[in-house]
Amino acid sequence: MSAGTRIFIFGGIREKGAFEKEEMPTERKKEIIGELTTILERCAIAITTDYRGLSVAQITELRNRLRQLGVEYRVVKNTLARFAAEQAGKEGLIGIMEGPTAIAFGYDDVVQPAKALSDYVRTSRTPLTIKGALLDRRVLSAEEVQTLSTLPAREVLVANLLSAMQGPIFALVRVLNANPQGLAVLLQARMKQLGGE
């Protein structure tokens, strides 16, 4: 073993050179687990991807695209992400983290991250693959994430719902605001008809 070689040894010690020893950086790992736990607790959806075959430039481009949409994209170590998922009470994430994993965390709209990742895969022709997602505490397959990406954005769904609810209300208002004189004439005619009988 050369003097500058580093090997990880069981028990939390790594060896630097022949005589120099220091503890593994477990504090940094604890910080990462804490950060991931907080993110998992806050996010509405976490979409796992396999980024093998992507260059650093492609990952950076994807990260920038997602950031513009309010989506955070992180390459994670599976072991640390597993600890964070357990601490956040989102153990379902563990089953969709095999191999090299990067996770897209969406906070407000659950459709937007799925749509953005699916669009990126389709348009960039990169080998990025979607493994699955955790929507609240429900695990989604890659196919379900693809289906989710075809839904309209949250704002569009809310607008459609509001317009559907407003339709009957507007019809009632139009009837009530119709020509009051015509209504008065109609009521007088009916009163005469009932009085003449």
pLDDT tens digit sequence for 114-151: 999 999 998 888 889 999 999 988 999 999 999 888 88
**Mean pLDDT of all residues in 64-88:** 92
- Under the phi-then-psi rule, with left for phi > 0, alpha for psi from -120 to 50, and beta for the rest, what region is 48? beta
pLDDT of residue 168: 75
The 8-class DSSP code of residue 76 comes to E
- Under the phi-then-psi rule, with left for phi > 0, alpha for psi from -120 to 50, and beta for the rest, what region is 26? alpha
The band of 16, judged by pLDDT with boundaries at 50, 70 and 90, is very low
Domain ranges of the chain: 26-149, 154-196
Please tell me the CATH code under which domain 26-149 is placed. 3.30.70.1730
**Looking at the predicted structure, is the pLDDT value of residue 112 above 70?**
yes
The band of 187, judged by pLDDT with boundaries at 50, 70 and 90, is confident
Q: How many CB atoms lie within 10 A of CB 122?
A: 9
The band of 88, judged by pLDDT with boundaries at 50, 70 and 90, is very high
> Apex CA 27: angle with CA 38 and CA 15, to 5°?
145
**Looking at the predicted structure, is the pLDDT value of residue 184 above 70?**
yes
Residue 112: CB partners within 8 Å, gap ≥ 6? 69, 70, 71, 106, 153, 154
Q: Do 69 and 112 meet the contact criterion of CB atoms below 8 Å apart?
A: yes
The 8-class DSSP code of residue 152 comes to P
Q: Is the pTM of this model over 0.75?
A: no
Residue 110: CB partners within 8 Å, gap ≥ 6? 44, 45, 135, 148, 154
* DSSP 3-state of 54: coil
